[in-house]
Structure 1
């Protein structure tokens, strides 16, 4: 199916989870556009931030890990509360103000650089603030989509978002590498800050029914526990969540090691590093294009497991790349496989979670799982930065491949293998 199917006439006839009529077809188009624009900005930052930290601020390996972890730490502190309040509040305003907050916190980085005041601790503080807004923003984003499209279109809608994100990851890093070369890494970060302002304006223009029941007997602790029970006691979501947490820890280690290996050990330029990330993005685009079809063919659970099995292979190749003359070629192949797996997996995983979770719990379940994911990524980034100085690039990448394999095995030895999820 093409992208028009998501926002086409069928959307108006099929009820969303929760029993309410879906939003007008223009609502998803604006939501999709907002996500696309911010994705391009984020892809530029994915190149600019490592260059700023590694080459301009001359950070130590531990400081590289600290910066990588900073934007994820707020998930550990605020995640449970963000989920509960996302289910209490209307989600569209949360999206808008979270994007404005991220724009301000990210935009402060080039300002500090221009006045000669930027230091690692300031960067960490701003990324902590950025992460705090992101906690609420992503909890609302993942819970808002089922209000815009019907249940039968959730895999397609998530795939369209993933395709756009993958396209941004394909073109954005090359654009980011060029902007870094032309303007410098700090100024390139302004592109991402501006993208969040546009994101906020587009989401503010969405017209959708959002009513929240006002109750006097609400108890924050009870609501948090209810969300945790659904996320971790559910026969399918529970093991999938644990597998995903392990995956995020491995990915946190991997990205820290990757930036040091490519930019320092292998001497990649900012543009070459951008091309490396662009290859991952282009393969994610291919994976997302076929995500719904593969999910329908194999079943949504087996599709997720198949994708999880591809990651350890990818990072085993990266480990080999760290010790051979053809390192750059193998590293590009490894990131291509990593991107392909992510493109296939993400739409199916998100659709599974959005389908089996009641709308009144979506904010909590999404925020709870994402909070632990980001906490695991933060710990992984710190662990990767601290350990690489002790054992070197190659053995750290071997460890990454092993941890990714554990994530795949947790998913395999679970009821997820038989999960298909009816689209109706």
Structure 2
């Protein structure tokens, strides 16, 4: 078993994560602009591009979890970062050579998704090796806050770069961010051990062991199922939300891209605020109670959205809705992740995390188009109500489960002899 290292290694880990996530927001916008304006993609083609990054999670996520549990996490993290940098550098080069087409771009997006799958699986398995159990909530909260700041300012940086140098060259910024992240991770001194070969079994056997451990666990089983339902509902809401804000008042709010961006910025501010309170809430009320209560409150801010109509205060209310929702998200996420990492044995960290993450991403693949189908068949407001109903159902499932009693394990106290 790998012993947690000092905070110095965690700081490198956090700095690497912060650097790469800012670059990721640049690429997310730049790829869509490149597809829409340079390659003249249709709406369906743009949807395929956005979905391509999640397909590896759905198809290969469980197998990658087995590999993460068999081998050391750090080389996977460093290798995935450097490989993503190379892939991103290839996109502007192909564009300059006149060889970039939409199918090629979609293939690159899928390849980036595959490398990100390896990175994410190893990333979640590596963190518990860097900090003790007592610091997991704080460590996850700090990572969530970095993501929230990137969520707030990343799109603005991306828009400025795309306007200044064009989408293909803006993608190089993300390539540089992955190179910096890889160098930082390579400097981490925590020692890991691969699983002993005699303990390794067939991939399918180990895959089943990881999935069985998740869904038979008294706490993680219902928490995971409720989480899959939450991702299904939330992906419906976020898909419809963009159209609802931008569409004409007869089927939406009739606002512009600037107002949409302001609401997203409010979401980032809320996530930072919630993350700052996550550790204190987990210690005072317990991880399980914090997650259950925040999950129960999450539908409330969304209720504002379909009830709104065109009025002078609409952007204020939209911003308030996103701010409050993401405060709750910032409170919930670190406590949920810390509990999962704390109760999962080292030998199962990769499989447990990728099992849950892969099925969550699968729920997004289903929920996003489902929200669109409901909106097309009825109205945008009806689709929003359907997503809110899904959030309520997720909260009910979780509240009725034993997870409300979940607490982080107490750190072991050293024994003294007299």
TM-score by length of 1: 0.87
1:88 aligns with 2:65: no
Distance (whole Å) between structure 2 residues aligned to residue 96 and residue 359 of structure 1? 20
Quickly say closer, same or farther: Cα 1:248–1:335, change in 2 above 3 A. same
SS at match of 1:421: coil
**Residue 268 (str. 1) matches residue 251 (str. 2):** no
Query: Is 1:159 matched with 2:147?
Result: no
CA distance in 2, matches of 1:110, 1:312: 42
1:211-250 correspondence to structure 2 within 5 Å:
211-216=193-198, 218-250=201-233
**Which sections of structure 1, spanning at least 5 residues, go unmatched?**
1-17
- Name the SS of the counterpart of 1:290 in structure 2: helix
Q: CA deviation at 1:207?
A: 1.5
CA distance in 1, matches of 2:46, 2:306: 20
Which of 284, 288, 300 matches 1:301? 288
1:105 aligns with 2:91: no
CA deviation after TM superposition for structure 1 residue 318, in Å: 2.4
Instruction: Name the Cα RMSD after superposition.
Output: 2.5
- How far apart are residue 308 of structure 1 and its match? 1.5
Q: Is the 8 A contact 1:301 1:418 kept in 2?
A: yes
Change (3 A) 1:55 1:391: farther
Q: Find the residue that maps to 1:400 and give its secondary structure.
A: helix
Once residues 316 and 108 of structure 1 are traced to their aligned partners in structure 2, the CA distance between those partners, rounded to angstroms, is 44
Deviation at 1:61, TM superposition (A): 4.7
Question: Are the counterparts in 2 of residues 155 and 348 from structure 1 also a CA contact under 8 Å?
Answer: yes
What's the CA shift string for 1:226-283, capped at 9, x where partnerless?
Answer: 11111111011001111111121223223322344445654533x5544332221111
Q: Structure 1's 247 and 111: CA in aligned 2 closer, same or farther, altered over 3 A?
A: farther
Task: Provide the rounded CA distance (Å) in 2 between the counterparts of 1:390 and 1:36.
Answer: 41
Relative distance call for 1:340 and 1:186 in structure 2 (3 A) is: farther
Which residue number corresponds to residue 351 of structure 2? 364
Task: Select the residue among 239, 247, 255 that pairs with 1:256.
Answer: 239
How far apart are the structure 2 equivalents of 1:81 and 1:222? Answer: 11
Classify 1:69/1:78 alpha carbon distance in 2 versus 1 (closer, same or farther; 3 Å). Answer: same
Q: 1:63 to 1:381 in 2, by over 3 A?
A: farther
State whether residues 124 and 353 of structure 2, in contact with CA within 8 Å, keep that contact through their aligned partners in structure 1. Answer: yes
- 1:317-332 pair list within 5 angstroms: 317-321=304-308, 323-326=309-312, 327-332=314-319
Distance 1:364 1:64, change over 3 A: same
Change (3 A) 1:105 1:376: farther
Residues 75-84 or 102-111, more deviating: 102-111
Deviation at 1:325, TM superposition (A): 3.6
Separation of aligned partners in 1, 2:86 and 2:260? 27
Asked if the contact 2:4/2:129 (under 8 Å) is kept, the reply is yes
The whole-number CA distance in structure 2 between the counterparts of 1:220 and 1:137 is 19
The 1:380/1:102 distance shift into structure 2, 3 A limit, reads farther
* Greater radius of gyration (CA): 2
**Total equivalences in the alignment:** 404
Counterparts in 2 of 1:305 and 1:93: CA distance versus 1, 3 Å: same
Residue in structure 1 matched with residue 360 of structure 2 by the alignment = 373
Aligned equivalents of 2:178 and 2:84: distance in 1? 7
Do the aligned residues in 2 keep the contact of 1:172 with 1:278 (CA within 8 Å)? Answer: no
- Asked if the contact 1:71/1:131 (under 8 Å) is kept, the reply is yes
Question: Relative to structure 2, which stretch is displaced further, 180-189 or 222-231?
Answer: 180-189
Q: Distance in 2 between matches of 1:100 and 1:331?
A: 39
Contact persistence 1:80–1:371 (CA under 8 A): yes
Structure 2 unaligned residues grouped into runs of 5+: 249-253, 412-418
1:170 paired with 2:152, answer yes
CA gap of 1:387–1:66, structure 2 versus 1, over 3 A, is farther
Counterpart contact for 1:227–1:368, Cα < 8 Å? yes
How is 1:137-152 mapped onto 2 (pairs within 5 angstroms)? Answer: 137-152=119-134
Deviates more, 1:119-128 or 1:294-303: 119-128
Contact 1:95 1:141 in 2 (8 A): yes
Q: Which residue of 2 aligns with 1:393?
A: 380
Change (3 A) 1:336 1:300: same
Q: Is the 8 A contact 2:92 2:168 kept in 1?
A: yes
Alpha-carbon spacing, 1:137–1:294, altered in 2? closer, same or farther (3 Å): same
